[in-house]
Structure 1
């Protein structure tokens, strides 16, 4: 441990994960945390989401609401807790239950918080208790449920017993909306109140325009709205009729074409015409003739008779009394008649107040309801400070429980390097291939992980996880730091347990390969050689199989032709030319000879070694093959660093988060039989062994060694 004094405080440091990290384990450490050089902090920033710590607590610490917690915000949170607690060392306890006696009542803020805490206890019916929990202080609905005013600027129906105001509030919430107050009740705010009365004023002003010019805006009186809607419904069809009539006047021969074609009628005459009204509605409104007027009584398309009857009753009977038809010019004049009404409709305001009716809206505007409701809202706002103090108690209780946990995982990463503990970024445990991986981290940005994961130097498994219980999905990255990787491939399934014990179905979707252990590196060249041989043997076997199948198919297809050729005398096969293959045989012989000579030299040289040098020669050969892979693996394993993975998740890591070989073994546990287990080795599915052959082999080896020793002794003229 290293110590150092700064601003009168002695800091203690420990080497953890190859880095000197400060110890935060006393009240004085917390008091002087503001004096600690940020360069000595393990992290400078972390996200508020995706961590195993209450996100509501982190949101309170994140005072600038940018989704990240930074060094100054941690210091501000610690300084505030130091100022409101009698003993800052209480934070080290991380207690779920906050004793209100711990509040420093020697300061004004402390006395205010203490009084607010007592109010919460009384509200919750816990007057005889002296502790609070996060669940209790965070339940604002329950705390403010019995209070008329809670300082949020929102009033509900419970704020008054005046029936007139209650009715007005109901109308406002129904037609202008509502918001939920701290007590969980629906109510209105100043914005909603002002918006409602603005709607009322707009609606009354709009109606006043019509009342001031009734003859212009509503030429048909109370029926103007219905008449205008009917006019819009038939306008396109009537305009189509007059255009067709003008075309018939332009070219009389086109009248037959413009009229209803006989073929179209013939197609529907065999059907129930009452069910073909949609088809009939597409026919012209009336018969096409040059210079024809719009008929109002007879000769109208049956599908349009009802609407034309309405037009005659509401509009034509008032503007064209006694007429059975109107000309095109008279029809076009209706646009000018309805134009002021159309403009007035377009200027309509106060839609939200309209359902109340004009009389009720005017009654509301004439009364003093707005002023009285505004006074109630002002009265509620007057209690804002007291209510906010109650909210601050929730902040106090949350910090009391969670702040030191954040410090241990932000300033020092103490929880990560402590056996039996888990850091706040460790999401759970992945079980796969007879092992459990404890270093599992939620992936928030897969693109950034793709760019940074390779710099970690770790063997990583990216898994898509799905919870069948909640239908939630997430992606995690698990670090494999122990065991082998022979059976790990993309697509394999696994099981992930989160920190709450919930199980998730996991599937490997990406693998980042890096060394796992020196043992694995030792065998990696041989595995690669075996894989290479297997791959090439499989290729050769597959190729040969394809040739055999192809030859067989060719022979089968040529059978008829060969049957006919058999009747003819076959030409004799050419004689075997020995000279042609002499060179080939000679080359093969030379190659085999060279290989045999090399093997003989190796074996001969090995046999000439003194007996104690033989194991060394074998070990040397193994080192030549596996040594480079082991050295490379050792160098990489020493530098495995979690920082790039955390950086990809939004952290700003300020120091190496090294995972050395020994520490890595604690993060991935291999399957082991429990102590005291009994194993039945009689496997019924194992091939029965023949003990004679191992005995023969062992005897041959021993005889060979004895013969070698006898020969060596004879050469050295050693006599028994």
Structure 2
């Protein structure tokens, strides 16, 4: 039993996370309890990380990285280096003496590194870089034999072999090689030559003698072309001889011909071909010339010329049933041999062509074998590339998977897509999104204000979600535009398409009720103003109509109509009285409330604080609870990650992720704004009201009694004083 490795931890986001300090931590990462891992899976696409490195780690090619694959990559990299601390140093180069000594197979990646450097004419180099391996890979892909097991027609130097490779590609399909050229692999070549050999054996079989001489083969083919139809004809004639009443039913009916007559006919029409070869009658012979179904005239003529006449010596253009059976018996062996012919894309080739193809089989398979022989070098070259990439990228991946050090230390996590500038803020917590609707269902549990944006750059489009974790959200709404900068520094047009509202701070929640109250008043005033305007416009329209049509409505000799007046111009005394009573009641209530408020004396500040707390307290409490629950996990889980902890985003971290606009501390400012709205009477009234409130409070608290005459003092002096 070996002693457990001693890891060191740091705390961020309310979670204890492992600190990757040295190569030993990487070598023993498999010993770390996976309950302490921040993530348990991440996608290989849609994150800011080299996809080639992720593909080399993703051994099952499911486009997801999970702990077993990451642990295997760490152990594999440490096994090929003398010192695992090389993985901490990073960089895309490795010194030749840093590779581990050859293993039991007697091979080391250092040998492949020296081989690559020799091919690049860098024999004196002591360090190999990722660029060297990439150049070698490009050279290997461009070579005649590149180890992918695919050969193209251009690979062959002999013309017959080249033609065979092309025929294999034409009949069995092609596959792309590493250069993107069409070629064939071993499976296609073996299938092709197996079919060619089967066809050769069939052509050389015992049944081939039955069709020798040429005329027997033609006779068998002619018989086979009409066999079913001739059998049908004689069977119908036998049935007619059995019962004469069946004759009308065995021939085509009048309705059938009427249906045919309604169509535009050709001899290729299937309805014509379905009719009997000739009219059915008891004991009738089959005509092979005149009087035959026109759709079968040519096949029957071939039957007469190639089978009946040569085999029976019968030049008559009629064939009875015994003669038909005799013809079938004569061609039976040849027809059976034809039925056994292998069916393949090359079945139409003759014996000479098949022999020529099989003669090139050895050369074709030798080309594929020679190409496969280069594959071991390719495998070692891929291992060398993998080690160089892991040296450069492994530590960064661990600090974005096992822990989130890169995120909490604001070094740029791999899931952060870039920075969104919108509403006088910059948002650094942005994540790429494939399906906005599906993402929003889970991401809403993050208790964070999220803005989904569609980003456009030319013909390119992508969706992101940005977390607003500081400032207010009063002017965030769908349709607002901003600019998004990805991690490569490219700028995109960004438009909010969906918003999930949540508080960003307790201070924002404090003012939220008052802002909502002001908005409600503004909305109600706007509604009343709109209604009043609509009523006034309607009244003016009615008045204008009455004036314009007054002369038409007045009868000749009638008294002039009364003068038109605006609706509502008549004053209702009862309405005025009611309004007066209402205003008086409201004034009395306000005066009573103000009097009670003034009577509180020294308790007025506490009363004001209580009123404010009653209004803003619930909103602030809800905001505080949501801010405590604000986390990163649901946002990443919705993007395909498997986050192991809650990963809280507290107020301090949120302030660093969303920065509001601030003028530099020592910047010079010109405070006079020529376009500022004038305060005028409104400012004076506000100042006067404030002075009046302060004066009343001071008088109520007896602070002005020393300076006021006795009649105006709040607390009159006693007689003894």
Identify whether the pair has TM-score above 0.5, normalized to the shorter chain: yes
Q: Tell me the CA shift for residue 216 of structure 1.
A: 12
1:401 is aligned to: 392
Q: Tell me the CA shift for residue 191 of structure 1.
A: 1.5
1:120-519 correspondence runs (5 A): 120-134=116-130, 136-138=132-134, 141-145=137-141, 151-154=147-150, 165=161, 167-181=163-177, 187-204=183-200, 212=208, 314=302, 349-354=342-347, 357-365=350-358, 367=359, 369-371=360-362, 373-374=364-365, 377-378=368-369, 381=372, 384-419=375-410, 421-444=411-434, 446=436, 449-469=439-459, 471=460, 473-519=461-507
The answer as to 2:42 corresponding to 1:43 is: no
Kindly tell me: are residues 344 and 512 of structure 1, through their superposed partners in 2, closer, same or farther at Cα, counting changes over 3 Å?
Answer: farther
Which sections of structure 1, spanning at least 5 residues, go unmatched?
Answer: 1-5, 234-245, 266-275, 572-579
Query: 1:425, 1:154 → 2: CA distance?
Result: 38
1:664 is aligned to: 654
Q: Tell me the CA shift for residue 322 of structure 1.
A: 8.1
Kindly tell me: are residues 31 and 562 of structure 1, through their superposed partners in 2, closer, same or farther at Cα, counting changes over 3 Å?
Answer: same
Q: Tell me the CA shift for residue 57 of structure 1.
A: 1.6
Deviations 1:122-143 (A, max 9, x none): 3344444444444553567524
CA contact (8 A) 2:9 2:16 kept: yes
Q: 2:52 aligns with which of 49, 56, 64?
A: 56
The answer as to 2:644 corresponding to 1:654 is: yes
Q: Tell me the CA shift for residue 408 of structure 1.
A: 0.3
CA contact (8 A) 1:46 1:68 kept: yes
Which sections of structure 2, spanning at least 5 residues, go unmatched?
Answer: 230-243, 563-571, 706-712
Q: 1:113 aligns with which of 97, 105, 109?
A: 109
Q: 1:601 aligns with which of 569, 592, 595?
A: 592
2:232 is aligned to: none
Deviations 1:99-122 (A, max 9, x none): 444322375689510111122223
Kindly tell me: are residues 41 and 630 of structure 1, through their superposed partners in 2, closer, same or farther at Cα, counting changes over 3 Å?
Answer: same
Kindly tell me: are residues 26 and 360 of structure 1, through their superposed partners in 2, closer, same or farther at Cα, counting changes over 3 Å?
Answer: same
CA contact (8 A) 1:217 1:344 kept: no
Query: 2:518, 2:142 → 1: CA distance?
Result: 76
Secondary structure at the counterpart of residue 428 of structure 2: strand
Q: Tell me the CA shift for residue 511 of structure 1.
A: 2.0
Kindly tell me: are residues 455 and 11 of structure 1, through their superposed partners in 2, closer, same or farther at Cα, counting changes over 3 Å?
Answer: same
Query: 1:180, 1:401 → 2: CA distance?
Result: 31
Deviations 1:594-635 (A, max 9, x none): 53333223322444565x865655444333211221222122
Q: Tell me the CA shift for residue 663 of structure 1.
A: 0.8
CA contact (8 A) 2:404 2:413 kept: yes
Kindly tell me: are residues 342 and 16 of structure 1, through their superposed partners in 2, closer, same or farther at Cα, counting changes over 3 Å?
Answer: farther
Deviations 1:272-298 (A, max 9, x none): xxxx99899999999x99999999999
2:566 is aligned to: none
Secondary structure at the counterpart of residue 511 of structure 1: strand
Kindly tell me: are residues 628 and 676 of structure 1, through their superposed partners in 2, closer, same or farther at Cα, counting changes over 3 Å?
Answer: same
Query: 1:561, 1:322 → 2: CA distance?
Result: 114
CA contact (8 A) 1:144 1:182 kept: no
2:26 is aligned to: 30
| Larger CA deviation: 671-680 vs 55-64 | 671-680
Query: 2:456, 2:301 → 1: CA distance?
Result: 67
CA contact (8 A) 2:217 2:334 kept: no
Kindly tell me: are residues 155 and 298 of structure 1, through their superposed partners in 2, closer, same or farther at Cα, counting changes over 3 Å?
Answer: closer
Query: 2:452, 2:535 → 1: CA distance?
Result: 42
Query: 2:227, 2:189 → 1: CA distance?
Result: 39
Secondary structure at the counterpart of residue 87 of structure 1: coil
How many residue pairs are counted as aligned between the two chains? 674
Deviations 1:449-477 (A, max 9, x none): 344222211111223444434x4x44322
1:268 is aligned to: none
In the superposition, the TM-score normalised over structure 2's length comes to 0.74
In the superposition, the TM-score normalised over structure 1's length comes to 0.74
Q: 1:17 aligns with which of 13, 30, 33?
A: 13
Q: Tell me the CA shift for residue 27 of structure 1.
A: 2.8
CA contact (8 A) 1:492 1:507 kept: yes
Query: 1:141, 1:314 → 2: CA distance?
Result: 63
Q: Tell me the CA shift for residue 655 of structure 1.
A: 1.9
Kindly tell me: are residues 494 and 146 of structure 1, through their superposed partners in 2, closer, same or farther at Cα, counting changes over 3 Å?
Answer: closer
CA contact (8 A) 1:461 1:479 kept: yes
CA contact (8 A) 1:100 1:132 kept: yes
Q: Tell me the CA shift for residue 640 of structure 1.
A: 0.7
Query: 1:533, 1:296 → 2: CA distance?
Result: 102
Kindly tell me: are residues 165 and 545 of structure 1, through their superposed partners in 2, closer, same or farther at Cα, counting changes over 3 Å?
Answer: same
Query: 1:520, 1:590 → 2: CA distance?
Result: 41
Kindly tell me: are residues 521 and 227 of structure 1, through their superposed partners in 2, closer, same or farther at Cα, counting changes over 3 Å?
Answer: farther
Kindly tell me: are residues 666 and 327 of structure 1, through their superposed partners in 2, closer, same or farther at Cα, counting changes over 3 Å?
Answer: farther
CA contact (8 A) 1:430 1:438 kept: yes
